[in-house]
Amino acid sequence: MLSRILESILTKLGESFVSKLVDQTADNAHNNVKSIKDFELILKALQKKLKALGAKAFDVEEEIKNSELSGQKKRKREVEEWLEEVRSIEMQVVELGIQVESEGFITRLMDGGLPAKLIDEVDTLVEQSRNFGELVLDVCGSRGDKLLTNGMVGEAFNENLEMVLKLLESGEVSSIGVYGMGGVGKTTLAKHIHNRLLQHSQGRVIWVTVSQDFSVTSLQDKIARLIGVYFLGEDNEVIRAARLNTALSQMKNSVLILDDVWENIDLLKVGCPISVECCRLIITTRSLELCRQICCQKKIQVQNLENDEAWELFKETLRNERELDFSAEENARSMAKLCGGLPLAIVTVAGSMRGERAIHTWKNAYEELRERVSGNDGMGDGEVYKVLKYSFDRLNRNHHSLSNEFNTLQHCFLHCALYPEDYKIMREHLVREFISGGLVVERKTRRAQVEQGHSILDKLVNVCLLESCAVPGRFDPTECVKMHDLVRGMALKICEGKYMVRAGDKSLKEIPKEEEWAKDLEKVSLVDNGIRRIEEGMSPNCPKLSTLLLWGNYWLEFIPDSFFPKMQGLCTLDLSRASITKLPNSIRAMKNLKALILESCYKLKDVPYLGGMKKLRELNLSHTAIKKVPRGVEELFNLKFLAMDADNLRMIRSGLFTKLGNLQHLELPFRIQVVFEEIENLEMLEEFSGRVKNVNDFNSFITSLGSRVHNTYYKIGVGSYDKGIYATRGVCYNKELFLSKCNLKDERVLAERIVQLTISECEGLSVCFVDGLKRLTIQYCGGIEYILKKCQMSTLEEIELVKVDAMKGLINKGEIGASSALAQPVFSSLTKLTIEKCNKMRIPLSGVPNLEVIDISRCEEIEEIFEDEGTSSLTLPKLKSLWLRNLQRLRKVGILSGVPSLEVIDIRECEEIEVIFEDKVLVGILSGVPNLEVINVRKCLEIEDVFVDEGSDSPILPKLKELNLDELPKLKSLCKGTAAIICNSIESIFIEECPSLMKKLPVVVDLAVPRHCEIKLNPALWESLKSDDPNLSPIFCSTRYPRLFMF
């Protein structure tokens, strides 16, 4: 955390500041600068506060590390986010030390008030640290997420599902092996088992995909990551196994599912304590023998579908709007039969025939498939390959069986096999690779090529050779695709001898031996491994090699000069996320290189002369350690994609872009102020990320775009550099504008169809309205009282307001009036609202029917969250999370008539609030929050009841998992009008400093059902409960029932 180095930097900063300021004021006596003495005091205050924060952060991290060593605890997300914010403050202090040496920085430092702003942020972090409560959670706190899967097909599938669930429920079987040939549906069955266990059991469900290239270390890493165990750099397998064993032994009634097991696993070496009491095991594999080697007590074979079941799945996959003609259906039935009852083969073949209606097409397709599939009974792996290969061949309708020529669709499909098995590939990255690798047709604009790439992926998904999926993103889920392992295997077999793929194995620490690099290799993928070094003298002879992917080898520190000379045909080289400090000089001779990708090589400082790479079209140096633009970049006149968003890059040579007239994509660091005239003449530019001097330059840029036929996407900063406001990096396919320290009085910003707008420390802002805006952030601004005055903002999805001192509310209803144009809610699309330190705001919300997340903190005047709208109460059917913190005058949440989606209530340090929800507003309120999972109420001095619900005889919260009540001196009950609430899903109860809760627990659990539940009480409350009900002691001492902890 904050070390002596930072303290030294601050001390030197102060000394350097005084020295420079004296010189500057002597030379510029007319400048209006603040008192040197006052500023020295600010710096000393910052130094003192940072030292205190550093000590606190050090203690927090040490306590967390000690807790995590047991393998039974994991850090809270809010604590981890707090530590990240502390690290961010550290970096800003380091940057202060660097920047104070630069010319002209002193005046900007004083005028901008940066140290004072840092002091404010430090105070906030210190305040937050006082409200953590416990720093860690038990690793068993989260039970897992529901997995996306296909529907169940066939009676046997349902029978197998019910059989596995009954075996687990019986408490007599600790390990189950599910086996069957590839593509028969083992993984689908296991996913349904996983989801049913999540829904109906109380234990943790852990899903791990093992895959073919497994190692003990990689398996340990996967399990540890899922259950929250941190190895903290420990490489010893024995010690790692002991920690996993300790953690898993604590997880009563948990189930570990190992999918796609290819070889025997020594579970003792991994650290998995398989038993009925704690961790039970399910594996899926193609081998009955493997089930025996792993000592599975019960073995279940997944059989192929019957003919009628196969036909139903085939029809369902076709998705025809009308029935096939009789003859066409006859051939379709025959094709389904040739798939041998394998769901994967059926889905893939049927997918390749979607939209086909002509009889001759169906007849020809059947004949082709029949010729490929052997006449043997049953279907082996060879036959599965032939069926899948048939679907691949149909991607090229003009394909001849003797031809090796593939079309664009096929090349793009084969490229996906370069990624690791079961990898979720981001579509955006994949399309970028299609473009840089020359796999898509050249178009006039980059955007047209992007659309072409997405169209190709859509087609591959439509014919079931790829699967659609997604991963969580900062704003929206990120769209991805993935390959079934059998489909990937088919692709690699097609490319056998031309592709070398060893991907996704962190235990692979050495690059393949030189003799393994065959002369005929065209593409090599060694991505996402643990390769550390390429030995001096290694020089693979691969004259046909066009693509070399080495991204994700974080420990790769050195590449020798000898490595590249015999790869003169190389077109794409991707070394992203490696730890290299320099590129070998031999790279200068790679005349055919079209894409050089070095993104996130954070240690890379030394890049040789690049001017000889005349064919280079993509150069990505973003997030490297370069301090200057590499020599020769200005000579790369074919360059279309240039990314140089590097934090240490301080200057761009004048005239750099004059010869780069073909640029379509340009990313520059926001630290550097771009001279508008430098980019004005880049007529091909479609995607731009950078910072301009002022609003006039931005408006000129927007005006220059008006004459272009193509659309332009940008992320532009205007005004001063402020690292904290740039939430995303790189160019997205939208328009984002960041205004920092601008005077907006009498300024008209030409911002049309902007998706994200961030305004920080700007003057003269009185109202904010941009047509089409989706995300709005305003921070440290004075003057603005309302977001809107006279209009709607129906597209806005997210609002974040931080320290907007004059802000009174989101809407000025006095000026909006009752206009018929505003019959609909003003913020009809708003899903997330964050408000912090807006001290004049009183009642913030109305007209927000689609709100999902509310997070309001440190606002001194807020008394009520939802505005009284007369006789009608507010319905928020989509609200999931309600976070209210440090609202000193908050009396109540407000009038609500229903929050059926609410999952989390977190209210802290709201000293005047007496009740959160009451039945005067919501009759039978507990029935109105059926999905509530977490209640967290802390330091609310006046609260007596969380709910008031006198309309229910047996109040119940069916999904409540976590209850935390802390420092609530007047709390009498969780729900007024009833002794306790029934909560049969509860997993964690924490009660401290609630003296009025002395005779009863606020929830009732059906103790007839064994469950994993931890109850943490202070001793006084426990003694009070025991004396009131002596039967509690034996219950809490039983290993089959809740565990009790004292503190």
pLDDT digits (tens, 9 = 90+) for 320-346: 767 888 888 888 888 888 888 888 888
CA–CA distances in Å: residue 843 to residues 74, 429, 817, 894, 996? 38, 44, 18, 10, 31
User: Would residue 819 count as lying in a domain?
Assistant: no
CB 417 within 8 A of CB 426: no
Does residue 522 sit in the same domain as residue 627? yes
Q: What proportion of the chain, given as a percentage, has pLDDT over 70?
A: 77
Task: Please tell me what DSSP assigns to residue 707.
Answer: T
Over 80: is that where the pLDDT of 952 sits? no
Does residue 22 sit in the same domain as residue 132? yes
Report the pLDDT averaged over residues 726-745. Answer: 74
Placement of tokens 């390429």 in the chain:
534
Instruction: Reduce the DSSP state of residue 652 to 3 states and report it.
Output: coil
- The distance from CA 1028 to its chain's CA centroid, rounded to whole angstroms, is 48
Report the pLDDT averaged over residues 1006-1016. Answer: 59
Does residue 163 sit in the same domain as residue 229? yes
| pLDDT at residue 397, as a whole number | 66
283, two tokens: 């594996």
Does residue 116 sit in the same domain as residue 11? yes
Instruction: Report the chain's terminal Cα–Cα distance, integer Å.
Output: 28
User: Would residue 549 count as lying in a domain?
Assistant: yes
CB 757 within 8 A of CB 776: yes
Does residue 133 sit in the same domain as residue 170? no
Report which of 937, 945, 936, 1006 is spatially closest to residue 977, judged by C-alpha positions: 945
Mean pLDDT (the chain) is 80
Report the pLDDT averaged over residues 622-647. Answer: 94
Report which of 960, 1038, 945 is spatially closest to residue 1004, judged by C-alpha positions: 960
Give me the sign of the Cα torsion angle 583, 589, 590, 592. Answer: positive
Report which of 496, 510, 523 is spatially closest to residue 415, judged by C-alpha positions: 523
Give tens-digit pLDDT for 769-816.
Answer: 667 788 889 998 877 887 765 556 778 899 999 988 888 877 776 665
**Distance (Å, rounded) from C-alpha 685 to C-alpha 663?**
6
Does residue 535 sit in the same domain as residue 615? yes
Over 80: is that where the pLDDT of 66 sits? no
Instruction: Reduce the DSSP state of residue 446 to 3 states and report it.
Output: helix
CB 525 within 8 A of CB 549: yes
Q: What is the CATH number of the domain that holds 234?
A: 3.40.50.300
| pLDDT at residue 1029, as a whole number | 60
Establish how many alpha carbons lie within 13 A of residue 773's alpha carbon, considering only the half-sphere containing its beta carbon.
20
Over 70: is that where the pLDDT of 683 sits? yes
Q: Which amino acid is at 831?
A: T
Does residue 74 sit in the same domain as residue 54? yes
CB atoms near residue 146 (< 10 Å): 11
Over 80: is that where the pLDDT of 15 sits? no
**Residue 486: its H or E element:** helix 485-494
Does residue 582 sit in the same domain as residue 536? yes
**Distance (Å, rounded) from C-alpha 924 to C-alpha 904?**
19
If pLDDT is split at 50, 70 and 90, which confidence band does 94 have?
low
Long-range contacts of 623-627 (CB under 8 A, 24+ apart): 623/599, 623/647, 623/729, 624/598, 624/599, 624/600, 625/581, 625/601
Does residue 425 sit in the same domain as residue 296? no
Does residue 105 sit in the same domain as residue 181? no
Give tens-digit pLDDT for 746-760.
Answer: 777 777 778 888 999
Over 90: is that where the pLDDT of 157 sits? no
User: What is the count of structural domains for the chain?
Assistant: 5
Number of H-type helices and E-type strands within the chain: 25, 45
Beta partners for 975?
947
| pLDDT at residue 183, as a whole number | 82
User: Would residue 602 count as lying in a domain?
Assistant: yes
- Among 289-293, 370-374, 572-576, 1015-1019, the range of highest mean pLDDT: 572-576
Does residue 130 sit in the same domain as residue 173? no
912, two tokens: 């005047």
User: Would residue 482 count as lying in a domain?
Assistant: yes
**Distance (Å, rounded) from C-alpha 483 to C-alpha 185?**
15
If pLDDT is split at 50, 70 and 90, which confidence band does 96 have?
low
> Domain range spanning residue 69?
4-138
| pLDDT at residue 28, as a whole number | 44
Does residue 293 sit in the same domain as residue 321? no
Report the pLDDT averaged over residues 69-82. Answer: 65
Report the pLDDT averaged over residues 672-700. Answer: 88
CB 630 within 8 A of CB 621: yes
CB 125 within 8 A of CB 89: yes
| pLDDT at residue 500, as a whole number | 96
Q: Which amino acid is at 179?
A: Y
Over 90: is that where the pLDDT of 606 sits? yes
Placement of tokens 């332009």 in the chain:
712
- Among 196-200, 665-669, 984-988, the range of highest mean pLDDT: 665-669
Q: Which of 618, 633, 650 is the last residue of a domain?
A: 650
Establish how many alpha carbons lie within 13 A of residue 115's alpha carbon, considering only the half-sphere containing its beta carbon.
27
Q: Which of 247, 275, 301 is the last residue of a domain?
A: 301
| pLDDT at residue 531, as a whole number | 93
User: Would residue 391 count as lying in a domain?
Assistant: no
| pLDDT at residue 871, as a whole number | 46
Over 80: is that where the pLDDT of 43 sits? no
CB 472 within 8 A of CB 478: yes
Contacts of 150 (CB under 8 A, 6+ apart): 188, 343
Pairing of the two strands 973-976 and 205-209: unpaired
- Among 162-176, 424-438, 817-831, the range of highest mean pLDDT: 424-438
